[in-house]
Amino acid sequence: MKLWRVLLTILVIAFAIGLLGYSYLNQQLKSLGISDWSIEFERLSINHIIIERLELTIDSLPESSASQSSTVLNLTQILSAEVPAIVPERFDIKSLRVKGTLLPEPISATFKLLNREPLQLKVNSREPVTASLQLTRENGSLDLSAQHDSATLQANYNYSSGQLTADASYLLAAQNVADSLSTGQIPMSAQWQGNFSPDTEFTSLESITSALSGELLLSVKNSVEIVAADSTTAASGKLQLNLSKGVINFYTLELNGETNNLMSLNVPELPVQLESVTWQLSSNDQLALPLLKIQQAVNRTHWPVSAKAVAKGKKNETLNLSSELSVEQKQWQFNSVNFDHLNLQLHNVALPVAEQSLIINKLTAAFSGQISNETATLQSTESMHIEFSHLTDDATAVVNFSHVFYPYSEPDDITAELGLSIHADALSFDQLPQIKAAFNSDFKYRQQKLIGNGELRLGEHIRVQHHSEITTNRLQSKVKIHDFNWKQTPQLDTLLKHFTPQVVISKATINGHADVNFDWNDNRWQLDNGQVDIQQSDWVADTLSAVDSSLNFQFNANNEQLHVNNAQLYISSVQQGFTLGPVTAEFGAQIPFDNPKQSTLNLTSHSIKGLGGSISIPNQSYSMANKFALPVVFEEISLGELMRQYPSNKVAIDGNVSGTIPVHWDSNQFTVDRGYLNALAPGGHLQVDSSALVSVAGNNPSLQTLAGVLSNFYYQQLSTVIDYDKNGKLTLAVKLKGSNPEVENGRPVELNVNLEEDLPALMKGLTLSNSLNEAIRKRVQQKIN
């Protein structure tokens, strides 16, 4: 046979074998979903194959064949499989291109396989992304290293023991979430520590995930910058999942951060202008959710959350907040937040109150409630304690919210119920010395109106009961002062001394009530339907003293003046040099606060008894700002009673007198012009110890006669003319007509006596000589000295 025929025969056989091999390979690739392929070799040897170019077109997923072997390999068998000796030691593809309808874009990569110990596989992708993958198998362990841009993955799997560890990191690019919300780069990391069962059979994806057990930790370790409006937040956090055989048993989520530049969140009307907030959020709970069904987490109703925040204000204020929450959602849509407890602490917060600052030194509170996308409810689980100071006063308050309901869309329907207690051990004002105070009230808020009922205690004995209604414009309150004893509250003496230093009250029982109205807008107040009742009162006004007096009156007042109506006065005994009483009067008054000298007195009725007779003045209106004449009428005044009150071993007189003393008021003081008193028939009896007059009379017969007449003088007429000027000088012109039966056979005698006296000094002296109680005596003594 010729050589060429032999060669031809070999070529035909080789072609046939190659054709059959190509046909078989093409059939196998088709079963894998590869519809077309092409290959170009650069080098082909027993130890090293270099493919210059390999292109694959994948249009379908691998086909399943009924004739396939039913033998299923586990993970250990797959990863520990030995490479056939006929396979070259090294396999390189310089250009691997995969395309097809299953891929959105063609993939370009390089491929390297070293199939001897250690076995190594390297894939470097160029398109559509740049990435690298390296897989190394050695001594029963598989190492994986992958990188794409800023994303890295390092993993190790021991397919003998099943232990699997992995670390991954990824730098998420800065995001503009919305016009006013953006984030900086987010450095994320992930760690897996656990087990992947080497007995896993690759029958399904579920069989693969069910072989996983361990912990997965996702974290953002470095702070991420989040900009919202004008505020900046630096935040970090982590999420830990615990898996057992492909099921997430529980999770732990922790987030923390600090928010600064809070100008956009500050509201000028609020007392605290925040500068920064440091916050923490955490959540952990049982989950029992298969890894392949993680999307079912969206159906989970409640997510428990712990929250903590510390806010700082521009004036060193601090606010601390901590809470245990339960967030309710549906399909990732927020429904509500339920909190079992919400703890709040405030320090050094200033509130504007009555043009002064009320400083909350410390506030602690605990609440429970619910906040939804429609309403908010709140109640106290522990009493709110507040330590505060106003001016120089320190106090504590306790607040209990039994109910707060706030519908966002209907602010007029906000309702609340709370109890308020305020205590101060040493409350003081400019006019009032330190006094213990306590305020206890219950409040209800309905239809933008706060209604309160309670009591204010001053000291141990003053009780002021109130029923109040407060709106955004006005305060309306009915107050009632229960009976209290003046003696039991010595601070009232100091208060009275500040306003009326001439008055001292030694005892009194007082009660009263009034309707209080205060307009917040124009800072105006008004008192209506007022009533004051003062009983069993003893008092001193300058040198005038009163014993067993009572006064009750109605009143109303506002910022400008006080109106006193239907006042009824009773004084058992009033003393100023001489004693009068009882005294009764009914009157009204108008007193302007800015100028009390402009006051007006309306006297409607009165009765003054004294010295065995009575004294009266006209029932009319008296304006203290104008001049007026006040005729004081004396009727049947007993001179004997006068001497009984001021007994003397030099003079004795009896008889009754009547008359009128015209008192004139000129807006500053009283004066008297030509007042008179005349004796009533049949006259009276006068006895004067004239021994001093006899000793000076000597041989003067007239003086001797006068001394004899006055020793036993019976008068039929007695008249007195009285003047009192603005300097306090009292002038008395006394005329007597009568006789002494024992002198000159009772010859009629007419006597004229003129007296001048400093009346204020005289009255003080007379008052000292009277038998007043010791407290009044000391008060008068102070006025004289």
pLDDT tens digits, 704-738: 777 788 888 899 999 999 888 887 788 889 898 99
- Same domain? For 165 and 121 the reply is no
- Same domain? For 131 and 158 the reply is no
- Select, from the ranges 432-441, 459-468, 755-764, the one with the highest average predicted confidence (pLDDT): 459-468
pLDDT at 658 over 50: yes
What residue ranges in 197-273 does DSSP mark as E strands? 212-228, 231-244, 247-260
- Same domain? For 168 and 278 the reply is yes
Query: Which residue, chain included where needed, has tokens 């656990």?
Result: 194
pLDDT at 18 over 60: no
Number of domains observed in the structure of the chain: 3
Distance CA 148, CA 132 (A): 7
Which candidate, 679, 692, 655, 690, places its Cα nearest to that of 736? 679
Q: Which of 113, 137, 161 is the last residue of a domain?
A: 137
Distance CA 402, CA 419 (A): 8
pLDDT at 693 over 70: no
Which candidate, 510, 505, 577, places its Cα nearest to that of 547? 505
Q: Which of 300, 315, 348 is the last residue of a domain?
A: 300
Classify residue 552: in a domain, yes or no: no
Mean pLDDT estimate for the chain: 83
| pLDDT above 70 as % of the chain | 86
Between 129 and 677, the higher pLDDT residue: 677
Q: 389 pLDDT band (50/70/90 cuts)? A: confident
Q: 603 pLDDT band (50/70/90 cuts)? A: very high
Classify residue 209: in a domain, yes or no: yes
Q: Which of 96, 117, 137 is the last residue of a domain?
A: 137
Classify residue 589: in a domain, yes or no: no
pLDDT at 263 over 50: yes
Count Cβ atoms within 10 A of the Cβ of residue 272 and give its class: 0-12 exposed, 13-18 middle, 19 or more buried: buried
Q: Which two tokens stand for residue 397?
A: 């308050």
pLDDT at 2 over 50: no
- Same domain? For 123 and 144 the reply is no
Classify residue 373: in a domain, yes or no: no
- Same domain? For 241 and 114 the reply is no
pLDDT at 424 over 50: yes
Q: What are phi and psi of 743, to 5 degrees?
A: -125, 120
- Same domain? For 173 and 40 the reply is no
Classify residue 343: in a domain, yes or no: no
- Same domain? For 96 and 197 the reply is no
Q: What is the DSSP letter of 773?
A: -
The boundaries of the domain holding residue 711 are 627-785
- The string over 179-193, giving b where at least 16 C-beta atoms fall within 10 Å of a residue's C-beta and e elsewhere, is eeeebbebbbbebbe
- Same domain? For 121 and 147 the reply is no
- Same domain? For 228 and 273 the reply is yes
- Same domain? For 745 and 683 the reply is yes
What integer is the mean pLDDT of 92-114? 86
- The β-bridge relationship of strands 231-244 and 212-228 is antiparallel
Q: Which two tokens stand for residue 430?
A: 């400019």
Q: Which pLDDT score, from 0 to 100, does residue 587 have?
A: 95
- Same domain? For 739 and 667 the reply is yes
Classify residue 341: in a domain, yes or no: no
| 482 Ramachandran zone, left/alpha/beta (phi>0; psi -120 to 50) | beta
Distance CA 153, CA 498 (A): 85
Classify residue 18: in a domain, yes or no: no
Classify residue 686: in a domain, yes or no: yes
- Same domain? For 103 and 225 the reply is no
What integer is the mean pLDDT of 765-775? 45
